[in-house]
């Protein structure tokens, strides 16, 4: 079942890349079991088709990286965003010390904005197979989510999705560029109605 979900996500992402007119080159690395993202491809597709982007009264990212890519805009997080990206070492999903400090600040914002729902996007550089990078991006997003939960954020406010290598911030084939792509990005989603 997770294979079908990953395949569906890859088809959606491939269509988005074809639409945006971009391509990437991969260099295979050792395979790793594929992991599925918490947000299903159907949910992602529904969001894209509805044209809805996360709106908030705070200055936060208004749309996913995929939305920005499809509009031909930068997929980088704006400097004005209260939720900062965290970065990873090559082929790793464990949190670095600098990432933990950023996540503590992000956690403080989440506590101050208790109605905010956040999607955590996992991203990778272009090295490795598509399947490997989707799995690695998923692990990165999950490690960030788990850490935020240990800092007191309710897990039901956080969802994860992996874009693997498909939505890069930088397209050059340099270590500096690859480092920018090995990230987790935060997208504030529309809040759930309370009853």
Segment 5-11 long-range contacts (CB within 8 Å, at least 24 positions apart): 5/36, 5/37, 5/40, 5/41, 6/34, 6/36, 6/131, 6/134, 8/40, 8/41, 8/42, 9/37, 9/41, 9/44, 9/134, 9/162, 10/130, 10/131, 10/134, 11/41
Is residue 5 predicted with pLDDT exceeding 90?
A: no
Helix axes 97-112, 130-150, angle to 10 degrees: 60
Instruction: Name which residue leads in pLDDT, 176 or 71.
Output: 176
Give the predicted TM-score (pTM) of the model: 0.67
Query: What φ, ψ does residue 131 adopt, rounded to 5°?
Result: -65, -45
What is the sign, positive or negative, of the torsion defined by CA atoms of 32, 35, 37, 43?
Answer: positive
Instruction: Name which residue leads in pLDDT, 103 or 70.
Output: 103
Mean pLDDT score of the chain, rounded to an integer? 76
Give the C-alpha separation, 180 to 157, whole Å. Answer: 26
pLDDT 10s digits, 52-64: 333 333 333 357 8
CATH 3.30.1330.60 at 2-189, yes or no: yes
Give the C-alpha separation, 160 to 152, whole Å. Answer: 17
Q: What is the residue extent of each domain of the chain?
A: 2-189
Whole-number percent of the chain with pLDDT over 90:
55
pLDDT 10s digits, 116-155: 999 999 999 999 999 999 999 999 999 999 999 999 999 9
């Amino acid at each position: 079942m997770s294979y079908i979900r990953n395949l569906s996500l890859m088809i959606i992402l491939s269509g988005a890349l074809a639409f945006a007119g971009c391509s990437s080159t991969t260099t295979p690395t050792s395979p790793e079991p594929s992991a599925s993202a918490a947000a299903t491809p159907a949910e992602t597709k529904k969001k894209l088709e509805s044209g809805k982007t996360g709106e908030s009264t705070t200055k936060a990212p208004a749309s996913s990286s995929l939305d920005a890519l499809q509009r031909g805009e930068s997929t980088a997080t704006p400097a004005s965003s209260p939720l900062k990206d965290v970065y990873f070492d090559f082929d790793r999903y464990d949190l670095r010390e600098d990432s933990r400090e950023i996540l503590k600040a992000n956690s403080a914002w989440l506590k101050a904005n208790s109605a905010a729902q956040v999607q955590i996007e996992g991203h990778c550089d272009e090295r490795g197979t598509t399947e490997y990078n989707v799995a690695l991006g998923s692990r990165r997003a999950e490690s960030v989510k788990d850490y935020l939960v240990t800092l007191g954020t309710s897990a039901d406010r956080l969802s994860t999705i992996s874009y693997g290598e498909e939505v890069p911030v930088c397209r050059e084939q340099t270590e500096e560029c690859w480092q920018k792509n090995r990230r987790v990005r935060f997208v504030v989603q529309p809040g759930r109605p309370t009853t």
